[in-house]
Structure 1
């Protein structure tokens, strides 16, 4: 309280507040005699001595216009051993090139002769506002930990590095700047700060250069980047891009990689390989490490002596033949080969003999496709041109739903019309191609892939199904939606047992999950969802059908699951007491 006044003539001529606010309270009681009251004039008094840990300064009358002919001096003092940090929060003072008229002057010291920090003006609007606080110079002591330079900031500090270096992800140490050109026969390349977490917002480019007529092979030995995309085509956050540098500087990509799966070995197409590493502003991981070696490209000179294709390998080379041919005993020439193909890869390409040239006459070719149990084969023809006949009696392709010509026919095709995609009901497909002695055409080319889900028939013998075709080698993919319908003969039941189980965890299994449905109708029996790493209990159907539905979202993924299924009869059901029945 600055004062309490009553009566007549006892009020001081001047009352000055210690801060930016002043409260005047006028109290009249019922017993008070009538008096004239009081009048007073007030004005904003600027300047003064401030001994506070922190506070606010404002120009007179702020946020309204300050008045002319003001001369305000503030002296701010904080405890010894500390500094004063001063920050303008608003600034609108009459502008002049040399601040000749209205200005704010800040000096580092207690007098008008102290060193000048700055003289400021500009923007012809009302005044200024500023915040000040006690500041400790963390860089003045020995505990800041900066390897190169320490920069004091308001309330804290930051480290910086000398030219040619950049800050480690720990914010203290300095390391050589990432990227650059590496001309060596062999060496290593690592992400910034490896094996510690890589920094955010990095953009690094390495160009590996080998001698002319040489190739570069890159083997990544450690890989841990934000993201979990299996197909390496949706690495929107942190990623490593690897490309061969072609003549003229054009890049031919080998892939964009993220997640935790180590990419396969990459061999350049020229003597230059470029690595581009990008990180965003969020998640940090341990990054990558790899080794590279250079090797002479024996295929560079005269195709290595190969008649068809030359494939460079480390320290050597090998010859290969086009479709429909096989390698001669001399290891370089090609001769017409057999036409029976066993294909067990999850995806790939198939074509008629000698495609894109015309196929030979009198050919009988067979393709037997097989994939992971619980999955199906999908065949798509991209180009198709065979001799036409209304009943496809002459040249034709026939596709079977099984492992031989004794299986159900999915379609017989000829002519120039591209067939519709063909999908087997199980994990095997059989395809034949036959040409007669007369007309030959270009033939066909297509792709085969694995489709999850399908219709499965349970038997007494235990059978297996897997979450995805590359189970055990790679994590399951994003945005999968698979349904397996497992059916038992009439009078029997389906018993399902999960053998391994590792899915993304969430309390309500709202992301990646497996749902088991008893029968065709989800409303008849409440389905159960499973996720995480805990193996679900055995499940027995109440009729002949059990459905397994596997769904994944577009972010994290994991190893997946494997399960076995078989049929049991009514006499075996009591043996399952205590197991979970649906």
Structure 2
């Protein structure tokens, strides 16, 4: 928030106050010539002050305000405003309309507000009239709001605010907290977290800090934990107060957490951390012959640890790593009767026949007991080829970070297991995109991919636009590229036929690249200017070559265009050529803000070039490419030769 001082100057036309969650909010909707926003001060203790863009913006703060232009006066004719909201990965966005007054039409064709997760994803809804829209919750960490008006009736418009909270995460994601933590959470908040770990494992949710409004039945502000993937699952706890709760364990590989707050008292919130809580639990009378297979990490403990073990115990554990992996182990605690080198009474014996398996035996006699032991065992890759692991990962899914890496189906190069679902969440540096290369692909075939399938989504979760859906065996490398720095990959197998699976890598690519979606008869591509939807940089020179199957043509449609205007488009522009290079016949040279008609090539290859000069920069462009085949399925696509450089000036 920004604060206002008594000496700050701003036009009276652009200031107003309204209520958000029972709190008076003061905002400014016009850029100020006399005062920099960073220097604004606010002496009012009961008032929150912030600078609000008048007509569209890209916003990345964890909370904020959206106001129609001119509010609380009437909005202008012919407005076309789009707000792009992005919060931290793993969070969701909750949008609440505080006031709403637009021209009414039964289909909302005159003046309206519409919302969605991505510009090319299905609309969440379109609203007009005087009834406030419902509270909207995004499916990912991105959200957009568009406001359009016609040339006739105008009204006061709307005010809305958003908070970023909740989301999908795994046990490897780290902790999560209430919105604004360690500051007090917001009133009237509702956040949801869906937490997963690998299939076959369980979750343990622990709290390091906890302060929610206290009530006898936790009906005011509370945190509810459910044993499954939604609030319809069995509720494990409904929590409030100021004491950190005891750890909460799941019975499966999923937990669902809901935070709900009312409009009155706020407190400091909470900080929680999910962990992989899977372990083998055995009765004291039955601790022999235990077999543990294909785990990344595990702990073996003497009975009753960290309390004293019982007399006359005889326990054995056999631990096996997955194919191609070794096992390392170490003791984090050890206290048994006896002395080093002489263990006639109580002892631990480790036998290892191979580097990927060992058996541990623990025996105690009938006399002295001690605290016992705790062993930590880790599975790691047997060998590598450069930075490429030769063996397979023992797990199934997970979070992958960094500029490059490798992942594969469970058990690869052996056959993958039946009835398995694995989800990988891949993230690279901000302002980059991701290219996934699949080197080998062998799964059970179905014409609609209903049996075993690999899916790629262009975003942080499974609600993002689908880039690929694959179920056809091939030994030729395939590449799939995203437009942003997050990709989600899901591999699913049924209970019948299994293949070798797949072996894949990911690589970080600077700037925006193309994304593709394959279907039975069509192919869709999307390209955009660097940093879109933020302003593109100065002195950029980017080019794309897009090739489709022979005997097909390429159809171009712009979905957004905002490039510095010149009558001959000589400053900043997009140029499209009917062939593989700039020497091919030109199809169009485009600038300004007016969307051009569709552009169609005469061959199967086009060349696209985007240039900017050293003066003004704008939002840029986004466009979609399509080609259709009425006779054959797609066999090959090249979206390569995308290059960007920044030219020197002077």
> Could you say whether these structures have the same fold, taking a TM-score greater than 0.5 normalized by the shorter chain as the test?
no
TM-score, reference length from structure 1: 0.34
